[in-house]
Structure 1
Amino acid sequence: MALVLVLCMTSLWSIAQAVKIQTYNVGLINHIDNYKIRKRNIIRELKSGDYDVMCLQEMHYGSDLTLLKKKLDKSVYVYHPSLYQETMLWGSINAPPCHNAPLTTLDVLYNCAFLANDLAALAKCVTERDLMTESQGCITCLLVSGWDVSRCFNYIAREAINIPGLVLLSKRKIDTMKTVEFEPGVKQISKRAYIEAEIEGVGTVFCSHSTSNSNIEYYEPFLQDVYSSLAEQNLNDSRKLTDAANLSDKPVILGDLNTGPVIPAFNVSAEFEDSYNHFLSEGFSSPYVTMVQKCTFCSLNPLVKNWETNEVLDHVLIRNHTVLSAKRLFVQNIPRKNYPMSDHYGVEVEIGN
């Protein structure tokens, strides 16, 4: 009887200490169809979401962040990198991200916008037109706005920009937090970073969006002498994440890491597999890959364009944690629509501490 009681108490204690950790690339950029409809549904889902820690990617617009904060319960802590905000009239009034760009830039951008789905061609277009001389906030706005580049010059909205697009949500106390750029001080077409946070009852969390496999050709103009390929840059991102995580006893690395293994049983192709193997070599595991194995970036998702393979790009990587469960999230279509909330599906890993 005593043994049964102990086992029951142990089980209840495990449930009480369970922590739900989720990652979701929300794809709130104009290259992905139905931006406004998806945004409403994403924020509604996050408001009612059952999570303890959530890492979001591709939430770049300050107005979207403002709406998210307004809708979320006050008990949810929201952390994101400092927003880029241009000002005018001696700093007294906010200005749009490309306020300092020449007036001729807007016309040039419409020519480059035709190349929005080909980052190598887009990078060549903007470099030839000296647009890389603009601020990082302006460059990021131009990249994520696609056909709606006028948003970067809108003097009514005067948008602020979350350059790396990362947001960390937590229902548990955050003791410390900071944003770390993978390539500090280097202007990029796609600026990448990670959020590092010490979260009570979880450990050190690293919320990231690593270099993606956008093209075969390497496109970052100011890193041509550093990396020969996107795969090499992604691997370096992964090493920087594990170097930082190795300073923690209980690290969690999560986000759209743009790397994953081949899983033949579920028709999943490898993506930058050297990076995924690097995480394994550093003692991390992906419970989602072990327990679920289904793609998170899938060719049959109606929002995925010009992509024929299936990959697991989104992970909650753990070390020194007890795994309770893992599952795929946000697969269902938006009500009365034939598409889901994003071109990625989310991932949840539940751990017991």
Structure 2
Amino acid sequence: MIRWLCFFLLLGADLCSGQTRLMTYNAGLLDTIPLKEERRDYVSANVGHTDADIICLQEIWLASDVDLIVSFNQLQYPYSYSARHDLERNLLPPCANVSLAGVLFKILANGCTKKTNSGEQAKCILEKTGVMNLPQRCISCLAIAASGGFSPTKISKDCVLTSQGEVNLPGLLVLSKRPLLYPLVKYFLPFTKTTVKRGFIHFQDEYVGDIACTHLTPNLGTDYLEPNLRGLFNSYEDQHFFESVIMEKELSTAPRAVIMGDLNCGPRVSNTNVKEEFQFGYHQFLIAGYENPYIDRAGLCTYCLDNPLTMDQNQLTATTPANNVLDHVLLRGIRGTVVQRVFTEIIPGLSIPPSDHYGTETTVVNKGNEFQVEIKFNVPNQYKYTPWNIKRPKQEIGFNN
């Protein structure tokens, strides 16, 4: 009786029953989005303002940005993890490779930089320059450095002359007030070179359970431009669905599981004017028994038409502008209590928010603090989606080694 009284009175406060705040936020630290450095500094200084216990950040692509955010929040979040944490500090630059000179020459010789839009530029570079023959870290560094427009000076600064721009693949950073147990970075396609290496951080938390922080493939338009994946997928939606299946399988044996991050998918929410995005991938999570308290109780867009930075990104990818919920904290075997949308404010002195995304925060009940959590497997069969065109090589799917 006391337990339930405390729950209703405090509604998410960590006083009567132990609860944990989980936050996901895509910081958008790319040069395609204006004022990257100013936005990065603001995020670094304010990422803990909701007092979340565990934070999953996406699009922290550069090792230098990881170092800045971690050091700035060391007192509040003494535990952190990213791909950067596994690297030695004095590595060679990502593109310490003589082949890069030939690639840069072909970019200019084929007029790739003169194409009218970013999609045409990317297609030209991927098909006519041999860029995919470079090492993976160099490929990704070039993609990140050229995101705001092709600049030989910036490419040299970030990828060749120094290790300042050393990439943090797959762009994820976890901050925590508590120790991260058994953290590991895993990639969806570890043996295939791709323009951006997608994956997730899997760890355990003593009070919550298994947690995965991820950033799934977005809708980048109708032209599928990944050269080495065209034998596997015909579209970005196919690739996204594949990643959704991998995420669900990775945590399938955990009694308590959280998948959080920019999942680049979501349902239609009519009363908040939210449109669906990559719905087959999203319903794959529902079929697996995941629940989404944020959709049920708020349903406000996290990728929104009222955000000027979102409109800039829509123009870049040539996608149709819409209100979407792309940023999720999905729960299986865990009860969520309070949800909120975060990082919606305007940066003081600027006319923009900190990112093209808004974040979400969900408070969950810790282990041993409720009698039972029902796991629901009640999604209609029409949402089950298995694209027959996807060929899944066995060596790309295994993560046990």
Same fold (TM over 0.5): yes
Residue identity matched to 1:292: A
Q: Which letter does structure 1 place at the counterpart of 2:67?
A: T
Q: 1:309, 1:173 → 2: CA distance? A: 38
- Provide Cα deviations, 1:241-271, integer angstroms capped at 9, x if missing partner: 1111111010000001111011122111110
Q: Which runs of 5+ in 2 are unaligned?
A: 367-401
CA contact (8 A) 2:107 2:129 kept: no
- What residue number does 1:39 align with? 40
Ranges in structure 1 where 5+ consecutive residues have no aligned partner: 88-92
Higher mean alpha-carbon deviation, 241-250 vs 4-13, is at 4-13
- Cα separation, partners in 2 of 1:9 and 1:277, compared to 1, 3 Å: closer
Question: 49, 59, 80: which is aligned to 1:78?
Answer: 80
**1:1-353 alignment, distance < 5 Å:** 7-8=5-6, 15-74=16-75, 75-82=77-84, 94-100=91-97, 101-106=99-104, 108=106, 112=112, 118-119=118-119, 121-146=121-146, 147=149, 148=151, 150-154=153-157, 155-156=161-162, 158-304=164-310, 305=312, 306=315, 307-353=320-366
Letter in 1 for 2:198: R
- Summarize the Cα distance change of 1:274–1:39 in structure 2 as closer, same or farther, 3 Å threshold: same
Determine helix, strand or coil for the equivalent of 2:361: strand
Change (3 A) 1:15 1:167: farther
Alignment-mate amino acid for residue 207 of structure 2: G
Query: Counterpart amino acid of 2:32?
Result: H
Instruction: Quote the offset at 1:223 in angstroms.
Output: 0.8
Corresponding letter in the other structure for 1:228:
N
Q: 1:19 touches 1:351 (CA, 8 Å); kept in 2? A: yes
TM-score normalized by the length of structure 1: 0.90
**Counterpart in 2 of 1:90?**
none
The 3-state SS of whatever aligns with 2:47 is helix
- Alpha-carbon displacement from aligned partner over 1:68-87 (angstroms, at most 9, x marks no partner): 12211245211002479799
Partner Cα separation in structure 1 for residue 38 and residue 3 of structure 2: 51
Separation in 1, partners of 2:48, 2:16: 23
AA matched with 1:60: W
Distance 1:47 1:112, change over 3 A: farther
More strand by share: 1
Q: CA deviation at 1:125?
A: 2.1
**Sequence identity of aligned pairs in percent?**
31
The aligned residue for residue 388 of structure 2 is none
Which residue does 2:393 correspond to in 1? Answer: none
Give 1:48 shift: 4.5
Kindly state the Cα deviation for residue 105 of structure 1 after the two structures are TM-superposed.
Answer: 3.6
User: 18-27 vs 110-119, which deviates more?
Assistant: 110-119
Report the count of equivalent residues: 346
TM-score, with length taken from structure 2: 0.79
Q: Which amino acid aligns with 2:130?
A: D
